[in-house]
Structure 1
Amino acid sequence: MQSKNLYIATFGCQMNVNDSERIVTMLQELGYRTTEHLREGDLVLFNTCTVRGGAEDKVHQHLANLKSLKKKRPGTLIGIAGCVAQQEGDRLLADYPWLDLVVGTHNLHLLPEMVREAEAGRRRSETDFLENDTRLDLFPAIAGYRKVSAFVTVMQGCDNFCSYCIVPYVRGREISRRFDEILREVRELASQGVREVVLLGQNVNSYGMKGEGEPPFSELVREVARVPEVARIRFVTSHPKDMSPELIACFGDIPKLCGALHLPAQSGNNRILAAMNRGYSRERYLETVRALRAVRPDIKFTGDMIVGFPAETEAEFEETLSLMEEVRYFDLFSFVYSPRPGTKAAELADDLSKEVKLERLDRLQKLQSIHSRVHNESYTGTIQQVLVEGPAKREGQVMGRCDSGRIVNLAGSPELIGCLVNVRIVEGYANSLLGELL
């Protein structure tokens, strides 16, 4: 079979990263091998995100820019997958005549067939939702996995309908994958050398809560920890309202479960949280943080914050800053609110100026940079266990992550990849640590 080049660019969340890994596996059967250079691609594919307006705008700009590539190389196939594809469907084929295929979030299993048709000159869009559990069986495991850390999807979709969020409309309703199939995939990955498993879902800790007959998420975490070759477990993304006492207890008595948790608050003000339809109050969120710290005092929190939600007052924004002071996030993803078509919040009057929103975002990010720097500097002189993942950017160094997930660079040979090693931290930087092997 003649080898062809696949250039795939991934935007958005870890779920998209995992989908892209599966896409690469599926297209290998058609002779495609990945390339890092767009203009070498026989197939150029964008796996997209529509959670924020900026991410969606980037995708449209990329698609517009590919008109000239198609003109110079008519045989190049251009495709779009993921959430933008799901949201816009056939309109993309109409808006971009040089686009060959559009594949939505529930239809990745159709991609090999669609690529074959595109190679034969037929354009196609597939964005139907599959609402039963067969959708979790339709794309294959990732073949020949060669990384130390691997994502394992345990559930898909979202039933929360936060007023600002497009995810339920582009990913569908919540559905949990079968317990035994998850464990089978974990064991297979472990047999290929994977040492860290990241359990993945839009609301990962609501696994098993929708009556599918599967055990609760806390039991899944405990079973994954019993796989001998798995050295570390992480999970993303957790919804604060679904942090059960049983799951909180896992952080206290499962050594393999890393002391790092992504727990998005989105706001520190109760009126805004209610308008966002988040399902918890500021007080309940902080109670969850305290409960987690009681069982794992060194746990590190990351989160998400939205600045400038419609009608947010200065006092309400100040409550978000005060929540940050209480939690002291390790890292924080922060954004100016952008209305998403079809969501409830898009119907709200928004009288905040762009200047006010950007000024608030700047204040929030400056506060977070102080917190992150303090966290990083506190590592200096400590001994950390690091899972080495691969070569670092600097020659002669390897990189890995400590329990919190922070990147550590250290002098060492590639033979260390896949090993848990003890490292003394000698310096903390803005986004990484420098260590020395003990």
Structure 2
Amino acid sequence: MQDLIKDLDILSEEKKQENCEVFKTSPEQNTGKQRKLYVESYGCQMNFSDSEIVTSIMQKEGFDTTSDYESADVILLNTCSIRDKAEQTVRKRLSQFNQIKKTKPEVTVGVLGCMAERLKSKLLEEEKIVDLVAGPDAYRDLPNLVKQVDEGQRSVNTFLSREETYADISPVRLNSNGVTAFISIMRGCDNMCSFCVVPFTRGRERSRDPYSIVDEARHLFEQGYREVTLLGQNVDSYKWSPEVNNKARLERTTVSEVINFAKLLEMVALVSPDLRVRFSTSHPKDITDEVLHTMKKYENICKYIHLPAQSGNTRVLELMNRTYSREWYINRVDAIRTILGEDCGISSDMIAGFCTETEEEHTETLTLMDYVKYDFSYMFYYSERPGTLAAKKYEDDIPLDIKKRRLKEIIEKQQQISLERNQRDIGKVFKVLVEGTSRKSEDDLQGRNSANKVIVFPKQNFKKGEYVHVLVKDCTAATLIGEAV
């Protein structure tokens, strides 16, 4: 069966940047509505979740969706700005769409998301490559923006809100396997990491009403979904209280009650013991023992944490404005291992060649990886982004060849550790939620265990959405291979 496994989780710089180019498109839906919408999404899980909100809004305004952009009346690209390559990919795609406008000038082409927020009206006025620009907090205005284009105007709304969470909008699940779904619990980010554009493209942090989150999770479970992932730029800083966030909810809770992330996790876990709960992303400065103890208390809260380190050196972390030290990060990892055990999955993000990073400091990243034993990581070399604090304050002074060499060393280290971590699982039995057929064989199923590891096993009579106990018999660096027991 090993020949059927493709290692996708150990991502090099090139592979990860290709991952930014891997996009999701709207599915075909024909209910007889007059106009067709095509949505193409790039980047992070939050973007894919936002596209589901956009589709819901547009369906209510008389649009069906199509998977063929050539048959669409409105084409929307939900974009990523995290790296220059991601933006260049979108520009190439826009040039393809503009070819369609030569024969179908009535087609509306719009850019949504982080790239729209970063470049704003420049896309309309200087480059003139789109008809419509909408930032992440302006999706309710999309029907009006499309109407303006229909009337012969170019339209833009990049207003960043301090309140918008789209809590009342029921997302349309795009490209869904019917088993797993994302639930956005907050928007924006108050962390000002010096390398990151997110605070500028997604605005200030705001938490969504917890009761709307629980209602969405319950509705998904009733529809047959068996796993939800709670999404936020920094889920551990989730905080909601009725007197501050939403006075209309006073009747559903006590005025003094403050719901933090640990409490929210518990509320979602209690929807059903058969509903798995995941979350992403955690920030090392904010993850608490209370969250870890809540994870331990409920079997259906998955024992997996994405805990981006970015660097293993305290000085570099300070330049990155990560607001924690190497020692603090190790303390949090020790807490995870103590409370949740050695089998808890931990993954990370790593940046090679940040401004002024020395060889010794790079080595500290490698030794941190040895200490933590990440199950997998997303790994990059540093790419300066316009408008960030790092671009304003620091010189991007590490030569590209050195960045690539350091990244290669990080990737090789992670591949070694990932294989070792997976080899530890041989002979163990895991509860696996079946997500569908293996990519490489119709005779095999694939799903994930609590630690977020992909497990492939023979299909037999099992079906998507079922829980199956699987004995691991072999592995690669990215995949466990087993059989049902």
Alignment TM-score, normalising by the size of structure 1 = 0.93
The answer to whether the 8 Å contact 2:209/2:240 transfers is no
Compare 52-61 and 427-436 and name the one that shifted more.
427-436
- 1:413 deviates by 6.6
Matches within 5 A, 1:319-398: 319-347=364-392, 348-393=394-439, 394-398=441-445
**Contact 2:188-2:199 within 8 A present in 1 as well:** yes
Where does 1:100-139 land on structure 2 (aligned, <5 Å)? 100-131=131-162, 133=163, 135-137=164-166
Distance 2:432 2:69 in 1: 34
**1:278 counterpart letter in structure 2:** R
Which residue is 2:319 aligned to? 275
Residue 123 of structure 2 aligns with which residue?
92
Are the aligned partners of 1:77 and 1:118 in contact in 2 as well (CA < 8 Å)?
Answer: yes
Larger RCO (CA under 8 A, 6+ residues apart): 2
**Contact 2:33 / 2:64 at 8 angstroms: preserved in 1?**
no
Once the two structures are overlaid, the 10-residue window that deviates more, 345-354 or 225-234, is 225-234
**1:386/1:422 contact within 8 Å kept:** yes
Deviation at 1:273, TM superposition (A): 0.6
Are the aligned partners of 2:208 and 2:240 in contact in 1 as well (CA < 8 Å)? no
User: What is the letter of the counterpart of residue 325 of structure 1?
Assistant: D
Aligned to 2:344: 299
- Deviation per CA, 1:66-116, whole angstroms, max 9, x where unpaired? 332322332332111100001111111124434121110101112233234
Assess if the C-alpha contact under 8 Å between 2:303 and 2:345 holds in 1.
yes
> 1:395 Cα shift?
1.8
Q: Tell me, in whole angstroms, the C-alpha distance in 2 between the residues paired with 1:390 and 1:96.
A: 43
For 1:10 and 1:200, locate their aligned partners in 2 and report how far apart those are by CA, in whole Å.
16
Aligned to 2:90: 59
Deviation of 1:408 after TM superposition, in Å, equals 2.2
- Verify: 1:317 aligned to 2:362, yes or no: yes
Q: Look up the match of 2:353.
A: 308
5+ residue gaps, structure 1: none
Map 1:174-213 to 2 at 5 A. Answer: 174-208=205-239, 212=245
2:169 corresponds to which of 129, 134, 140? 140
Q: Could you say which residue in structure 2 is the equivalent of 1:156?
A: 187
Bigger mean CA offset, 422-431 vs 355-364: 422-431
The answer on whether the counterparts of 2:273 and 2:300 sit within 8 Å (CA) in structure 1 is: no
Structure 1 contact 106–129 (Cα < 8 Å) conserved: yes
SS at match of 1:152: strand
Q: Percent identity?
A: 38
Distance 1:146 1:2 in 2: 25
Code of the residue aligned with 2:353 in structure 1: it is G
Paired residue secondary structure (1:250): helix
- Cα distance, 1:217 vs. partner? 0.7
User: What residue number does 2:19 align with?
Assistant: none
| C-alpha distance in 2 between matches for 1:286 and 1:365 | 21
Q: Match for residue 39 of structure 1?
A: 70
Quick one: distance in 2 between partners of 1:209 and 1:305? 31
**Counterparts of 1:38 and 1:326, CA distance in 2:** 48
2:376 and 2:414 in contact (8 A); partners too: yes
SS of corresponding position for 2:285 = helix
In the alignment, which residue of structure 2 is the partner of 1:14?
Answer: 45
The change in CA–CA distance for 1:114 and 1:232 in structure 2 (over 3 A counts) is same
> What TM-score, normalized to structure 2?
0.85
Shift of 1:248: 2.0
User: Deviation digits for residues 97-151 of structure 1, max 9, x if unmatched?
Assistant: 34121110101112233234434543211101112x2x12476112477621111
- The alpha-carbon deviation at position 332 of structure 1 amounts to 0.5
User: Is the 8 Å Cα contact of residues 48 and 83 (structure 1) preserved in structure 2?
Assistant: yes
Q: Contact 1:70–1:98 (CA<8 Å) still a contact in 2?
A: no
- 1:7 Cα deviation from its structure 2 partner: 2.9
Give the C-alpha shift of residue 53 in structure 1: 2.1
Q: Distance in 1 between matches of 2:167 and 2:146?
A: 17
Equivalent position amino acid for 1:407 in 2: V
| Alignment-derived partner of residue 76 in structure 1 | 107
Moved more, 212-221 or 316-325: 212-221
The 1:174/1:180 distance shift into structure 2, 3 A limit, reads same
Stretches of structure 2 that go unaligned for 5 or more consecutive residues are 1-31, 246-256
